[in-house]
Amino acid sequence: MVTRLVSAHLYPVKSLGGVDVDRADVEPWGLRHDRRWVVLRPDGGKLGSTALPALLGLTAAPGPGSITLTTRDGSSLTVAEPVDGPPVATDVSRLDTVRLAADEAHDWLSARLGRPVRLAWLDDPRRRPMSAEHGGGPGDPLNLSDAGPLLVATLPSLRRLRDWIVEGALERGEPAPEPLAMARFRPTVVLDGPFAPFAEDGWSRVRVGAVDFRVSERCDRCAVTLIDPETLASGKEPIRTLARHRRHDGKTWFGIRLVPLTTGEIRIGNPVVVD
């Protein structure tokens, strides 16, 4: 069995639901169309799904020079990239301004989220450097992801985590829960292969197809993973189990972050080489 890319995912708007894709273009700051938009409070502060889980109930799909926002009841709105939109100050780390979308987008989102919000776009990711704290080097740009251009998760690690969750439930005298979905972790790419669970902790380089990446750091997990993206209900997993089995330095860990060393196309089924 060869290690391969088994799924790829784009989240055009930070904290909203995304789309599965068969192929993606790798740019220096991440996958094309991934995390270029953000929902803001009226004061310019970013809104995330921990504070507002309803964000996960909306999906965003990329189009030519635009995104389409869709609700679960099928209502949708296509929003053009605000190339000449007014800049607005934001509290997104290492970024001073983003460009506001048209008022129609703000009104549509506000009505569906039940609070006043604004939609904004990062016009040029080269304006936002990676943090050295998260493994960024001089000149490494970043989209609106928190810490790194790509997030990798692996199926062997997810399978082990699912087993641990079941074991814990049985120890507590509880019925075995439904298998935890990989979507909880919002990975950009998912790999599968003949390697041990959490082997990715020791990787330093990854090649997907003909595109090379370096590993910038392991990924510590936050409370977003506690929200079921299907039901929007919050629970104790997977943090409870990760805290038991994968707790180091006061944090829980699942997945690794990658920085592109080259650009190009990746496709589902691409062979993967790790070092």
The domain total for the chain is: 1
Per the structure, the complete domain to which residue 57 belongs is given by: 4-274
Query: So what's the pLDDT on residue 143?
Result: 99
Q: How far is CA 140 from CA 29, 208, 214, 258, 274, in A?
A: 7, 19, 12, 11, 21
DSSP 8-state assignment for residue 49: T
Rounded to an integer, what distance in angstroms lies between the CA atom of residue 247 and that of residue 213?
26
Query: So what's the pLDDT on residue 1?
Result: 80
Query: So what's the pLDDT on residue 106?
Result: 99
Helices and strands (DSSP H and E) totals, the chain: 3, 19
Rounded to an integer, what distance in angstroms lies between the CA atom of residue 216 and that of residue 68?
31
**Regions of the chain with pLDDT less than 70:** none
Q: How far is CA 274 from CA 194, 209, 214, 271, in A?
A: 12, 11, 10, 10
Q: Are 31 and 188 in contact (CB under 8 A)?
A: yes
Query: So what's the pLDDT on residue 114?
Result: 97
Query: So what's the pLDDT on residue 173?
Result: 98
Tens of pLDDT, residue by residue over 176-200, are: 999 999 999 999 999 999 999 999 9
Does the reported pTM lie above 0.95?
yes
